[in-house]
Amino acid sequence: MTAIPSDDLAQLFDRAFQPLAASVSAKRIPGGVLGAVNRNGDRIIRSIGSAQLVPKPRSMQDNTWFDLASLTKIIFTTPRILALAEDGVIDLDAPLVSVLPDLRQYDAEAWERKVTFRQCLGHQTPFPAVEPIYTYGRDPELLRAFILQREWRARDPVYSDINFILLGFALERLSSKIIRDMDPGPGFAWSTEPDVAAATEDCTWRHRVLSGEVHDDNCSALQGAGHAGLFGTAASVLDFAQGLLDGTGASERSIALMRTPLSATRTHGWERPYEGWSGGALCSPGTIGHTGFTGTGLWIDFDRGRAWTLLTNRIHPTRHFDSGIVQLRQTVGDLMNGAQ
């Protein structure tokens, strides 16, 4: 049962919802859902606009399912990797080859064989920011072998999906299951019915408007991966966030690691506040957050004891449009944190 929101949360929420409504009114994005929760379980969820525009319009609902994109990294992959570390199954400072011995197996001195779990969680590796793996074929097992054996060109560390694709491979190897056969967690799924989902892109290589199936090209080709592919509603995202706020959703040690800095911008799996980050300028130092390419985001402020999620379909029907999502996220965050 949803708790009645507190007056303070309600006032912040009402102000934070206004820029979302303005973005929809200006046709910058088709629609969205804003949700907020505090440590006590008070919560609000409100939707606006359209879940789909083409080929047939549908209205956005409070319980619309979203392709969460890179929120998969923080909701699914990171907690599982940290739990394995706590159980002693893996060592975060051990190289990935402790679980994936075939990573660059033909070159014992390859730099890829020295990359650790912790470095992948914090995006502190030399992997490229973007790689169109899906253009090399549609056989998921062949693509897995390709990723493991490819000689990747080293560069300065950046945010890279490859880090979490490899962490997903480790989860698969340890469980003897592909990710799509794993439990996605309460309230989440790996796909959903098209008529209850927020549509994403009119895909140029799948030749259809995507709704209820993963948008991320590499995840689609791999048929499940550690960096993307999770679906959920605002309610399920808030349930996850509340579990971290009140300590019921993960162990104390895992939550501490999610908050422990690994760089000026990153913790274990998450982002932390820095100038220009997605959560806005008014977050407390005890805030972590993450965004997803499809137009999703989640921010958890442990100091203030509240979290908010902004879920949009900003790439529908195309990503090649200035949706203003960067400014929208920052504005919503500032208003959730008391800006007038």
Task: Give Cβ neighbours of residue 49 (< 8 Å, ≥ 6 apart).
Answer: 24, 29, 30, 31, 32, 59, 60
Q: Are 309 and 234 in contact (CB under 8 A)?
A: yes
Handedness of CA 170, 73, 273, 304 (dihedral sign): negative
CB atoms within 10 A of CB 176: 7
Mean pLDDT, the chain cut into blocks of 10 residues (340 residues total): 61 97 98 96 97 98 98 98 98 98 98 98 96 96 98 96 98 98 98 98 96 98 98 98 98 98 98 98 97 98 97 98 97 94
The reported pLDDT for the residue numbered 7 is: 64
Provide the edge-to-edge strand list for the sheet that holds 58-59.
58-59, 43-52, 31-38, 306-312, 296-301, 287-292
Give phi and psi for 134, each to the nearest 5. -65, -20
Instruction: Please name which of 298, 310, 305, 254 lies closest in space to residue 121, comparing C-alpha atoms.
Output: 254
- To which residue do tokens 């203003």 refer? 324
Written as one string, the DSSP assignment of 13-47 is HHHHHHHHHHHHHTTSSSEEEEEEEETT-BEEEEE
In tens, the pLDDT along 250-259 reads 999 999 999 9
DSSP state of 61: -
Q: Report the SS3 class of residue 50.
A: strand
pTM over 0.85, yes/no: yes
CB atoms within 10 A of CB 94: 13
In tens, the pLDDT along 69-92 reads 999 999 999 999 999 999 999 999
Written as one string, the DSSP assignment of 115-159 is -BHHHHHTT-S---S---GGGG-S-HHHHHHHHHH--PPP-S---
CB atoms within 10 A of CB 111: 13
The reported pLDDT for the residue numbered 259 is: 98
The reported pLDDT for the residue numbered 5 is: 52
